[in-house]
Amino acid sequence: MSELVVTEFMTLDGVAQAPGGPEEDPEGGFAYGGWQAPLMDAEAGAAVFEQAKGMDALLLGRRTYDIFAAYWPAAPAEMDFTRLLNRVPKYVATRTLKEPLDWQGAHVLDGGLAEGVADLKKRHDRVHVIGSLDLVRSLLAEQLVDRLNLWLYPVVLGSGKRVFEPGAAPSALRLTTSRTFPNGAVQLEYERTGEPTTGDMAALDRQ
């Protein structure tokens, strides 16, 4: 069964804006761009690649596509991510970019988001989304995410865009993988199981 897998890097207070660098996404005057870099370690980096290498297509938002396309085509060939990202088909969810794109193997996602994702899942078994926070929030709102891979870092920023903002569709999730890393990151992988259920804690106390 085809899956859409989202990987996000986030703080303890849920912020996922601009983890990679100061200029990645300064929207809203965000002052902490690059917050992830001091918390990365070799073991975590290897795990991120191990999870990513299972993709057979990559879906990106416009801002993340611009960052990736400016770096990866000319990145050192001996880097594992260079070979992976330059090899797989890439799709960009955008209303402003037009074909042809300047990164080999990259295409504009056809149609609306739901229709475009459905078409990708007919052609690819594992479609990955990396970063692309604005896109991810749209995917969550439309309940298009099958598997959610969250990297949780030991830092609180107090401001910035969060993964789960108002408008995210209510969802029940099942934890499938958890792992901790030397610099304090925790990787949590969830699969969506349906709608949330409710109960009564007082009734449980009476049992």
* Torsion 102-105-110-114 (CA) sign: negative
> What is the full per-residue pLDDT of the chain (207 aa) written as tens digits?
799 999 999 999 999 999 999 999 999 999 999 999 999 999 999 999 999 999 999 999 999 999 999 999 999 999 999 999 999 999 999 999 998 899 999 999 988 999 999 999 999 999 999 999 999 999 999 999 999 999 999 999 999 999 998 878 899 999 999 999 999 999 999 999 999 999 888 877 666
State the pLDDT at residue 203.
75
Global confidence as pTM: 0.92
Q: Is the peptide bond before 19 cis (omega within 30 degrees of 0)?
A: no
Please name the helix (run of DSSP H) or strand (run of DSSP E) that holds residue 134, with its range, or none.
helix 133-141
**Domains of the chain with CATH codes:** 3-206 (3.40.430.10)
State the pLDDT at residue 206.
67
Q: In whole angstroms, what is the distance from residue 49 CA to residue 199 CA?
A: 39
Residue keyed to tokens 């000319």: 74
* CA distances, 20 to each of 24, 31, 87 (Å): 7, 13, 22
- Please list, in sequence order, all residues whose beta carbon lies within 8 angstroms of the beta carbon of residue 143, skipping any fewer than 6 positions away: 169, 171, 192
